[in-house]
Structure 1
Amino acid sequence: MKALPAASVRVRVTFAVTALFGLALILGAWLLVRAVEQTVLRTVEQRQTGHLEALRAQVEHGVPLDALQLPPGPPNTQFEVRTPASPAMPARVLGVGPRLFLAQRRLPDTDLSTTELATISPKEGRLMLVAMSPLDDVRNSVDALKHVLWAAIPALVVAIALGAWWVTGRALSPVRVMTRRVASITGSTLHERLHVSSSGDEIAELAQTMNSMLDRLERAAQRQREFVSDASHELRSPVASIRTQLEVALAHPDPTRWPAVAQDVLAEDARMEKLVADLLLLARLDESNAVARDEIDLDDLVLEQAARTWRLPVQVHGVQAARLTGDRHQLACVARNLIENAVRHAKGRVEVATTTDGSAIRFTVDDDGEGIPRAHRTRVFERFTRLEEGRSRDGGGAGLGLAMVRRIVELHGGAVRIGKSPLGGARVAISLPTAT
């Protein structure tokens, strides 16, 4: 049998339940004994008070003390009639009747329940009626109850411990099944899922949560495989092109062709260098959720990127003052990628604009190209995604620009979406929080 961990949930729950139940039993037993004892004592006192009331009625009606008739009562109860003490006359006990004990026949030294009742006799004056009953029977009854409880409490504690152990085991059984199931899932079996019961309890919620986690892991693993595959494919193209050009040049030596070969190799090398740099930036963005919090004028940053040498002039008449906090290098990458993407697909016009509306900054880039179909406006933000019209290698990017844009904007607490531009092409709109 496999040994249980010393600090397993089953052990801790069983110990806690047993300890709490044992303490509750001990406290309840003590309260029960006290309640029984007090109840019996009150019963004795009430009986004594009733007897004394009967005696007082006789005394107040002038019945002589030696003619008092005691009411029916336990034979071990002693009644006394006492005169009050004073400096001139000490207290004395008057014994009357065959059923009223004299002072010389007082009860032995033991625990007594004593009840007193004052009265006035027409003949004797002020008197004190006293009833005394031994508590031996009360003590015996309480002791018998204690013995029963001391024997029952350990048995009940053991029973509750066994019950808690069994119930906890039954409750944790699905968890053990899920643990073994999850432990058996590997990278090649991420498609497998846990069974979710229809109970709707916490165990079912745990299974649903773990299935959701497995879904995320499977998607992440799929994205990673696609990323590696796409990156390998994109890197293979320039490497193969460089190798082909060099092999052709070496097979047909011609000194006059080497400058052209060198230019082609440098172009492919630049393309490969940009791809590697983009991949590295994406990896860094994925590793950390923290960004610099510098005060940045987004309008200046956009104007700097628009002033670069592009295939088409970039219109900046819509750029207004917009200040925010963030990472200058990353936000410059956003502006550069959006402008580069717009220029690549535009027919002859690209416009950029920045506006501030309360606590939000809006940055838009418009072009007059073919636009992006509505069905693809979300997919283009995925890595290595290029639409058919953008798949030409001479067209430029490898499909990483918009993926980097979305990741950087999300890290800065913003959102990005693509819509229809007033110019007829695509509009990329970014919203970012202003500087606080």
Structure 2
Amino acid sequence: MRQLLAKPLFFNRRIVFYLIILLSLQCVIAYGALLVFDSLPSSLTDMPDDHVVFRESQRGTVNLIRKQIDENKDKPLQEVVNELQPYFGYPIKVLSAKTPLPHSIKKELEQLDFAYDGDKEVVYMDLNNGNILQLGPILMRDILESNTMSLSVFLIIWALFSAIVFFILIYFAFSAVWKDLVHIRQTAEQLGQGNLKARTHNVKGWLFKPLANVLNNMGTHIEHLVSTNQTISHAMAHELRTPLARMRFELSMLEESDNEQEKRQLQKGISDDINELETLINASLSYFKMHQNNIELNYTTVSLKQLGEKICQSLELFKPQGFELACNCQDARASVDINLVETIVKNLLLNAFKYAAHKAVLNISKQENRVIFEIDDDGAGIPFDAREKIFMPFARLDTSRTRSTGGYGLGLAYVKLMAEFHGGKAFVVTSPLGGARFVVSLKSGDE
């Protein structure tokens, strides 16, 4: 419960922190934008120059003062200025025409009879009588020349409104993305806690939907691996019970027997059971090793016809008496891992020798970039509902296996696993001979 409360609190603190950072950045950006905008030429911004604006704003005042002076020519200039001074919020001074002024100010006086000095914020009037009237300094409100407090308040207000609008836009733009991330995180947490059935089904955005699909596929794959490993573990435990039970029975009989010949038979049975256990353990370890590690394929271009005939000849000694093995192979060349292919085909043919009645046929052909191996037999066939099960480790249709029948149900599991390593697949269908047809499709390395 504390963790659930701590997450929103931490989230709120992070939001406040981000908001403060955003406000600070907005203030810096706003001030920089004002400086840059103010420095741009008026031809670009379509705004008059500050100097011209301030000067023209005083034109009416200048004309009124000039008119007042002209109407009171009989009075001394200083007396007229003193009478006007109370009406203005800035000082008015009379200067000599010889007062040194900047060149730009003199030029402006010659052209307009009045000029504005932006540096001193002063207006000069040429009275054309040897005197110049100085108006100012005049207080002008410029945001860039305001005091620090005023500028700071402006920037904060501007940044606050900007941040609010920005957050609203971000919320509507990324709320769906945030929800997708929350669903993905929850699924990942559930998978990490052992709930292998957890999946992400609510991700709709194009940005994270591929990630959700990858996570779902990973969860499915992990669930399959765990389920397979559990099945293998249970099956292996069942396989171990059979020879162990026989050994326990044989040991009990050995203790009670007084017949030397019977004792030797029981001792031989115990030795055979030990060998069977060792064989089972080694076969299981080999399967697990192959299941967990990738096999590095060694592609070699071979003739499919020669490869098929070679495999069939190598199994002549293993055929039951009177059994017929036919080899129909296409005269084509393909790039395959020879060792892997031979292991796959030999496993299937030996399986056919065990379960077929009288005949088995090996067909090898090349179709586009695939090499197809088909092994037909005239046995009892495989029931439809068992065609997936027989490729599972330790799976057998006949559950009454003894030492005489042999096998642990790993042969077809090997075949499927090796086919998948070779970029292919293995499955079983009904054979034209009436029994089973095992089909292995492998990817050719020359395409």
Specify every segment of 5 or more residues in structure 2 that has no aligned partner in the other structure, as ranges.
Answer: 67-92, 122-138
Q: How does 1:34-433 map to 2 (within 5 A)?
A: 34-35=36-37, 42=49, 44-45=51-52, 72-75=59-62, 104-105=96-97, 132-135=115-118, 136=121, 140-144=142-146, 147-153=149-155, 174=182, 178=186, 182=190, 185-186=193-194, 190=195, 193=198, 214=219, 216-257=221-262, 260-261=265-266, 264-265=269-270, 267-295=272-300, 297=302, 299=307, 302-303=311-312, 305-311=314-320, 312-318=323-329, 322-326=333-337, 328=339, 330-387=340-397, 389=398, 391-393=400-402, 394-433=404-443
Task: Decide which moves more: 268-277 or 168-177.
Answer: 168-177
Amino acid at match of 1:256: Q
8 Å Cα contact 2:393/2:409 also seen in 1:
yes
Please state how far the C-alpha of 1:282 moved relative to its aligned partner. 1.6
Please state how far the C-alpha of 1:309 moved relative to its aligned partner. 1.3
Q: In structure 2, how many angstroms separate the alpha carbons of the residues matched to 1:331 and 1:10?
A: 62
1:201 to 1:149, Cα distance in 2 relative to 1, 3 A: farther
Please state how far the C-alpha of 1:131 moved relative to its aligned partner. 6.0
1:418 to 1:184, Cα distance in 2 relative to 1, 3 A: closer
Count of matched residue positions in the alignment of Structure 1 and Structure 2: 378
Q: In structure 1, how many angstroms separate the alpha carbons of the residues matched to 2:314 and 2:65?
A: 113
Residue aligning to 2:133: none
8 Å Cα contact 1:420/1:426 also seen in 2:
yes
Residue aligning to 1:27: 29
Task: Decide which moves more: 315-324 or 172-181.
Answer: 172-181
Residue aligning to 2:73: none
Q: In structure 1, how many angstroms separate the alpha carbons of the residues matched to 2:351 and 2:290?
A: 20
8 Å Cα contact 1:406/1:415 also seen in 2:
yes
Q: In structure 1, how many angstroms separate the alpha carbons of the residues matched to 2:387 and 2:31?
A: 73
1:368 to 1:409, Cα distance in 2 relative to 1, 3 A: same
Residue aligning to 2:77: none
The DSSP-based 3-state class of the residue aligned with 1:314 is strand
1:362 to 1:236, Cα distance in 2 relative to 1, 3 A: same
Task: Decide which moves more: 246-255 or 236-245.
Answer: 246-255
Which deviations, in whole Å up to 9, do the C-alpha atoms of 1:1-33 show, x marking residues without a partner? 99x99xx99988887776566445423322224
Amino acid at match of 1:280: L
8 Å Cα contact 2:356/2:379 also seen in 1:
yes
RMSD: 5.2
* TM-score using structure 2 length: 0.64
Amino acid at match of 1:316: C
The DSSP-based 3-state class of the residue aligned with 2:432 is coil
Please state how far the C-alpha of 1:254 moved relative to its aligned partner. 3.1
Amino acid at match of 2:343: C
8 Å Cα contact 2:299/2:338 also seen in 1:
yes
Amino acid at match of 1:239: L
* TM-score using structure 1 length: 0.65
The DSSP-based 3-state class of the residue aligned with 1:75 is helix
1:280 to 1:223, Cα distance in 2 relative to 1, 3 A: same
1:221 to 1:43, Cα distance in 2 relative to 1, 3 A: same
Specify every segment of 5 or more residues in structure 1 that has no aligned partner in the other structure, as ranges.
Answer: 52-70, 80-100, 118-126
